[in-house]
């Protein structure tokens, strides 16, 4: 049975210069009369003591201030944006979390005021990620629009809590929000990265790595666009796309009764074809993404399935063609129109193509492969 969650998991970031396409409209029979509103958002900034750490001669908090300035230049004046920070008032205090700007439209002078507040943050204390996200989600639960938390953090939770568990808790309690998470100077494979990535995945957002000032600016630009896009138009995609990741941007298509997201744990030995079969064997599934065992440090293969309400971004060459594979049901339109994040063609020397060039994706087909066993 196709079992929906409210949101889909976040995709792995393979290039911070990826071009985000516009949100799409569903197939003709389901096209809404008007596009859905863009999401209200709460920006949560890490102002713990570690943000005084240096990158190329500048502190991370300085770089974060600059990145927020770039974000605010993109933010629509009529769209609501709030600000929350933690660790900026005292040392050793896990309750040092402050709502600095309530959720409200940015307006004509809101950007300058918000920037001044960010510029005044002085990192001091702990990293209570979990409680900060919980409080941000509570601020957002009263909105009738889609809601997004944008979290920028440079380290792991230091207040004896689990951000991933908090995401599950909020989901179970009916708080409908998406968390886009930027790990700033976070080491690959670290506990901090695992926590931050899990938080994004459990809420259907994106996890982005930023290792320097340029990548932080680009990452905030990406999540800003994902949070401010309005519905434009869908495009069809291929049935089998090796190396390509289809991932949700946190928005939804307004398709009445549509199922949204399901994730299945795949048995050992199952490959992308098994994931495709799980999707095509469920009438509500419009697209899928396969992740092989050990991809992103997960000890089993996973199959993410998306329904007609999905709004997906496409990222080409997100990983090797056997590590990540995506596909779309014939005729389904759940992928944003516009250019994908593309890279030069692979060759046989890359170990991912053939002597005649890179592996070619298969065209969409109406045939349905034999269903694979779903493992939970």
Residue 289 has pLDDT above 50, yes or no: yes
pLDDT for the residue numbered 146: 61
Tell me which of 149 and 29 has the higher pLDDT.
149
Q: What's the mean pLDDT in 39-46?
A: 86
CA distance 65 to 45: 10
Q: What's the mean pLDDT in 313-324?
A: 86
CA distance 288 to 307: 9
pLDDT for the residue numbered 147: 74
Q: What's the mean pLDDT in 202-224?
A: 78
pLDDT for the residue numbered 215: 79
Handedness of CA 122, 139, 246, 38 (dihedral sign): negative
pLDDT for the residue numbered 227: 63
Residue 3 has pLDDT above 50, yes or no: no
pLDDT band, very low/low/confident/very high, at 118 (cuts 50, 70, 90): very high
Mean pLDDT is highest, among 75-84, 217-226, 256-265, 345-354, for 75-84
Q: Give the DSSP H or E segment for 306.
A: strand 302-306
pLDDT band, very low/low/confident/very high, at 325 (cuts 50, 70, 90): very high
Residue 130 has pLDDT above 60, yes or no: yes
Burial letters 68-77, b for 16+ CB under 10 A, else e: bbebbeebee
Percent of the chain exceeding pLDDT 90 equals 26
pLDDT for the residue numbered 341: 46
The angle that helices 163-172 and 129-140 make with each other, rounded to 10 degrees, is 20
Strands 335-336 and 147-153: unpaired
Among 109-113, 260-264, 293-297, name the one with the lowest average pLDDT.
260-264
Q: Are 244 and 37 in contact (CB under 8 A)?
A: no
- The secondary structure of 106-119 as a DSSP string is -TTTHHHHHHHHHH
Q: Are 167 and 237 in contact (CB under 8 A)?
A: no
Among 46-55, 165-174, 314-323, name the one with the lowest average pLDDT.
165-174
Mean pLDDT of the chain: 74
Q: Are 136 and 97 in contact (CB under 8 A)?
A: no
Residue 179 has pLDDT above 90, yes or no: no
Alpha-carbon dihedral 78, 146, 164, 44, rounded to 10 degrees = 10
Q: Give the three-state DSSP class for 81.
A: strand
Mean pLDDT is highest, among 61-70, 169-178, 215-224, 314-323, for 61-70
């Amino acid at each position: 049975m196709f079992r929906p969650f409210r949101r889909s998991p976040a995709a792995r970031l393979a290039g911070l210069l990826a071009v985000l396409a516009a949100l799409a409209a569903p197939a003709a029979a389901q096209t809404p009369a008007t596009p859905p509103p863009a999401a209200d958002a709460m920006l949560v900034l890490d102002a713990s003591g570690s943000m005084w750490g240096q990158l190329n001669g500048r502190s991370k908090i300085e770089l974060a201030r600059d990145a927020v300035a770039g974000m605010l230049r993109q933010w629509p004046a009529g769209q609501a944006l709030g600000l929350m920070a933690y660790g900026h008032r005292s040392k050793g205090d896990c309750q040092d979390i402050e709502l600095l700007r309530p959720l409200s439209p940015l307006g004509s002078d809101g950007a300058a005021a918000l920037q001044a507040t960010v510029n005044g943050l002085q990192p001091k204390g702990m990293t209570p990620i979990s409680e900060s996200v919980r409080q941000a989600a509570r601020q957002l639960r009263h909105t009738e629009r889609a809601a997004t938390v944008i979290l920028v953090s440079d380290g792991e939770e230091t207040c004896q809590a689990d951000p991933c568990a908090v995401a599950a808790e909020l989901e179970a309690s009916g708080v409908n929000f998406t968390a886009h998470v930027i790990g700033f100077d976070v080491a690959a494979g670290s506990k901090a990265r695992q926590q931050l990535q899990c938080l994004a995945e459990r809420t259907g957002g994106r996890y982005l790595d930023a290792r320097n000032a340029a990548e932080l600016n680009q990452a905030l630009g990406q999540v800003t666009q994902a949070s401010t896009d309005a519905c434009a138009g869908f495009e069809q995609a291929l049935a089998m796309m090796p190396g390509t990741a289809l991932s949700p941007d946190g928005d939804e298509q307004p398709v009445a009764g549509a199922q949204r997201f399901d994730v299945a744990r795949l048995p050992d030995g199952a490959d992308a074809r098994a994931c495709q079969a799980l999707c095509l064997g469920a009438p509500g599934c419009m697209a899928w993404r396969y992740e092989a065992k050990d991809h992103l440090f997960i000890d089993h293969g996973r199959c993410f399935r998306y329904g007609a309400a999905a709004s997906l971004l496409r990222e080409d060459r997100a990983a090797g063609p056997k590590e990540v594979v995506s596909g779309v049901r014939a005729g389904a339109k759940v992928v944003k129109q516009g250019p994908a994040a593309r890279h030069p063609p692979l060759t046989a020397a890359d170990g991912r193509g053939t002597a005649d060039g890179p592996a070619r994706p298969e065209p969409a087909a109406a045939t349905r492969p034999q269903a694979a066993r779903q493992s939970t």
